[in-house]
Amino acid sequence: MSEEKNPGFGTLSIWSGEEKKDGWERTTQVPVAHSVSYGYKDLDTWLDVALGKAEGHIYSRNTNPTVTVFEEKMRQLEGAEAATSFSTGMAAISNTLYSLLKPGDRVVSVKDTYGGTNEIFTRFLPRLNVDVALCPTTDHEAIEAAVAKGCDVLYLETPTNPTLKVVDIERLAKAGHDAGAIVLVDNTFSTPINTNPISLGADGVIHSATKYIGGHADALGGVLCGSEKIVKGAYAYREINGATLHPMAAYLMIRGIKTLALRIERQSESAMKIARFLKAHPFIEDVFYPGLETHENHEIAKKQMRSFGGMMSFFLKGDFDNIRTFLPRLKYAHLAANLGTVETVAGPPRTTSHVEVSQEQRAAMGIPETLIRYSVGIEDADDLIADLSQALEYAKNH
Ligand SMILES: *Cc1c(COP(=O)(O)O)cnc(C)c1O
């Protein structure tokens, strides 16, 4: 028998979830099933499907053929037992957490999680009498100590927003499991192309599919990949909560995923060039990019990321007025709040991820006033560098 090699990410991006489908009227592309319900002429079959004894769909809040293909693609890309999807990334995060936690439980996480996730930890979970410990993001000893005091869910995110800190998934997953915790990782920034947290010990992986997975900033979505048990629980919660992924959004995600491996390869390569250019520029104070040897977590990043991704941040010399002149001069960047798309996107955390936070709090979090988050698109790297260069020159002289 010939030995079968596991398919690579380029192949998986295209074929996963679509291998054995005959399609509707032999379509080669996954059709968008806008149908809300599924008809059964035979009551016994209907009953079997409704009871989960036979495969099939009943009602699209629960399952839908287009959405199922998206989930299967993500399951294979993350190397997970199971996957389920949600209307947004925040729906994936909140439904997963609420399906796992009950009053009296304790969550350990880090200070630099996504803004919405941080709100769940600081505003909503305490109301349900869930204890939340938020540790300094890259202080692995502090996280391990907090976990050892008792932990039901260890929630990690890496790299983080906006300063691209990287935490050691393998090391912390082990600490979490020693304490009997379920370990979740928000893998939005890294994508399955660069990191597979399950292979490093995580029990569940969450994505805001709105970002790199869809990749074109035209659809919202979220996904959880993980063990059968965790995914089943989150699915049962979502089924009732109703935060279902729309079939049209699922279609756009499927289409986006076909180029995921290509996009990540290009964006990572360009980001590395851009980070080096910015690092050497006299008007730039510092650059946060996990691929730079000077990045505080570069060694961890090298260990758990196949390439370093398309996200970076940097800050200019001087004050916020420099940002005011610099940003609008960029020709090839949307000034907007999203990221991970084919176009380059730039913006200060002060107007995007950390709007609600005061200047003092941002300083305490290590977010300089002149910080700019820069999501590298798939444009030519040389053009992006020339664009940054002219805008920096202009800002320096005005
Ligand atoms: C955007 C984002 C989310 C939230 O996703 P939505 O799709 O906007 O709900 C969660 N985590 C990270 C890291 C994100 O960047």
- pLDDT tens digits for 254-311? 999 999 999 999 999 999 999 999 999 999 999 999 999 999 999 999 999 999 999 9
Mutate to test the pocket of ligand 1, among 164, 166, 188 (most ligand atoms within 8 A of CB): 188
**The pLDDT value given to residue 347:** 93
Query: Quick one: average pLDDT of 132-153?
Result: 97
| Residues with Cβ within 8 Å of residue 163, at least 6 apart in sequence | 112, 288, 313, 366, 367, 371
Cβ–ligand 1 distance for 94 under 6 Å, the answer no
Sequence ranges of the chain with CATH classification 3.90.1150.10: 260-397
Report how far ligand 1's centroid is from the alpha carbon of 216 (Å). 15
Question: With a 6 A CB cut-off, is 162 part of the ligand 1 pocket?
Answer: no
Question: Which residue has a Cα nearest atom 4 of ligand 1?
Answer: 89
Q: Is residue 4 pLDDT above 80, yes or no?
A: no
Cβ contacts of residue 332 below 8 Å, gap of 6+? 343, 344, 377, 379, 383, 384, 387
186 lines ligand 1 (CB under 6 A): yes
Chain center to CA of 38: 32
Q: What are the backbone dihedrals phi and psi of residue 168, each rounded to the nearest 5 degrees, phi first?
A: -80, 100
Place of tokens 């002060």: 350
Q: How much is the pLDDT for 356?
A: 66
Q: What is the SS3 assignment for 329?
A: helix
Residue 28 has pLDDT above 80, yes or no: yes
Percent helix, strand and coil across the chain, each to the nearest 5? 40, 15, 45
21, 61, 111, 362: the catalytic one is: 61
Q: Catalytic site residue 237? A: no
> What is the structure's pLDDT at 395?
93
Could you identify the atom of ligand 1 that is nearest to the CA of residue 160? 13
Give ranges for CATH 3.40.640.10 in the chain: 9-257
Q: Which CATH entry fits the domain spanning 260-397: 3.90.1150.10, 3.30.2270.10, 3.20.20.80, 3.40.718.10?
A: 3.90.1150.10
pTM over 0.85: yes
Among 191, 226, 202, 248, residue whose Cα is nearest residue 234: 226
Residue range 333-356, pLDDT digits in tens: 999 999 999 999 999 987 776 666
Identify any residues that bridge with 86 across adjacent strands, giving them in sequence order: 222
Ligand 1: centre distance to CA 54 (Å)? 35
End-to-end CA distance of the chain: 70
Q: Is 41 a catalytic residue?
A: no
**What pLDDT sits at residue 3?**
64
Q: What's the whole-number average pLDDT of the chain? A: 95
Going by C-beta distance under 8 Å and a sequence separation of 6 or more, which residues neighbour residue 133?
106, 107, 108, 109, 146, 149
Which residue matches tokens 């099933």? 33
Is 188 a pocket residue for ligand 1 (Cβ < 6 Å)?
A: yes
195 closest CA partner among 164, 163, 170: 170
Annotation marks residue 396 as catalytic: no
pLDDT tens, position by position, 74-88: 999 999 999 999 999
Tokens 């890294």 -> residue: 190
pLDDT of residue 218: 97
Does residue 116's CB lie within 6 angstroms of at least one atom of ligand 1?
yes
Distance, in Å, from the CA atom of 104 to the CA atom of 145, rounded to the nearest integer, reads: 19
- pLDDT for 368: 84
User: Is 329 marked active-site?
Assistant: no
What is the residue with the minimal CA distance to atom 1 of ligand 1?
208
Q: What's residue 152's pLDDT?
A: 98
Cβ–ligand 1 distance for 118 under 6 Å, the answer no
Helix, strand or coil, per DSSP, at residue 43? helix
Cβ(208) – ligand 1 distance below 6 Å = yes
Q: Quick one: CA torsion of 93, 247, 197, 162, rounded to 10 degrees? A: -60
Q: Kindly report, residue by residue over 381-395, the tens digit of the pLDDT.
A: 999 999 999 999 999
Contacts of 283 (CB under 8 A, 6+ apart): 316, 317, 392, 395, 396
**Ligand 1 centre and the CA of 208: distance in Å?**
5
Q: Which residue type occupies 283?
A: F
Catalytic position from the list 112, 152, 186, 203:
186
Mean pLDDT to the nearest integer, 147-174? 97
pLDDT for res 1: 46
Give pLDDT, residue 23.
73
Pocket flag, ligand 1, residue 220 (CB < 6 Å):
yes
* Helices 65-78, 247-257: crossing angle, 10 deg rounding: 40
Please tell me the CATH code under which domain 9-257 is placed. 3.40.640.10
Total Cβ atoms within 10 A of residue 42: 8
Return d(Cα 218, Cα 212) in angstroms, integer.
11
Choose the residue to mutate in 210, 223, 313 for probing ligand 1, maximizing ligand atoms within 8 Å of C-beta: 210
